[in-house]
Amino acid sequence: MNTAAAAGLIVGAYLLGTFPSAILVARAAGLDITTVGSGNPGAANITRNLGWKKGVWVFVLDGMKGLLASAVALGLDGRQLGYAMGAAAIIGHCYPVTRRFRGGKGVATGGGVFAVLTPVLFPVLVVTWIIVSRVTKKAALASIVTVIGLPVGVALSGRERWEIPAACVLCVLIVIRHTSNIRRMLSRSEHSI
């Protein structure tokens, strides 16, 4: 695939990532999710304020953004484009140009990316997130633990060497978005599920 076509697909993946799942689900329920709870337009804040059913919907919709971006890339040009388009979808979710670059944390969208890129590892990540979140009642802590463990899982799963730093880059994007959560956890003021 030529560079221009790949660049166009990456831009398309970014725009796909900007789709405001949480904002639309909350708006349908008569709520501006950016003004309640943590203010984050993501599945965890939706769950805290509107219940787990709507939280699951947002998680699935956000996950589909990453899944579609990476799946299209794999079908067209392989794993390198899969990582690039996955990263673009995560960035679009976290920093949407349509909402002054104020988006979500990227966990569900990243989950969709790795559901495609590491389908064997993905269920382990989901189970890890569920266990940590249930034990600690902290969605952010569960997300951080899962994200940090992801490159380790990629390394142990026997993928090509370049995929380990590529996975690290995607994980760093997501951890950076959790800086405020980390501060709140250190001060013991982090929101519970």
pLDDT of residue 50: 94
Chain CA centroid to CA 162, Å: 21
Encoded amino acid at 152, one letter:
V
Task: Enumerate the domain spans of the chain.
Answer: 3-186
pLDDT of 13-33, one tens digit each? Answer: 999 999 999 999 999 999 999
Predicted pLDDT of residue 30: 94
Q: How would residue 47 be classed by pLDDT, with cut points 50, 70 and 90?
A: very high
What does each C-alpha distance from 144 to 6, 94, 132, 133, 148 come to in angstroms? Answer: 30, 15, 10, 11, 6
- d(CA 138, CA 190) in angstroms, rounded, equals 7
For residue 109, give the nearest of 65, 174, 166, 71 by alpha carbon: 65
Query: Is there a contact between 73 and 81 (Cβ–Cβ < 8 Å)?
Result: yes
pTM over cut 0.95: no
- Four-residue CA torsion sign, 114, 118, 119, 121: negative
Q: pLDDT by residue (tens digit) across 77-121?
A: 889 999 999 999 999 999 999 999 999 999 999 999 999 999 999
pLDDT digits (tens, 9 = 90+) for 125-165: 999 999 999 999 888 899 999 999 999 999 998 888 999 99
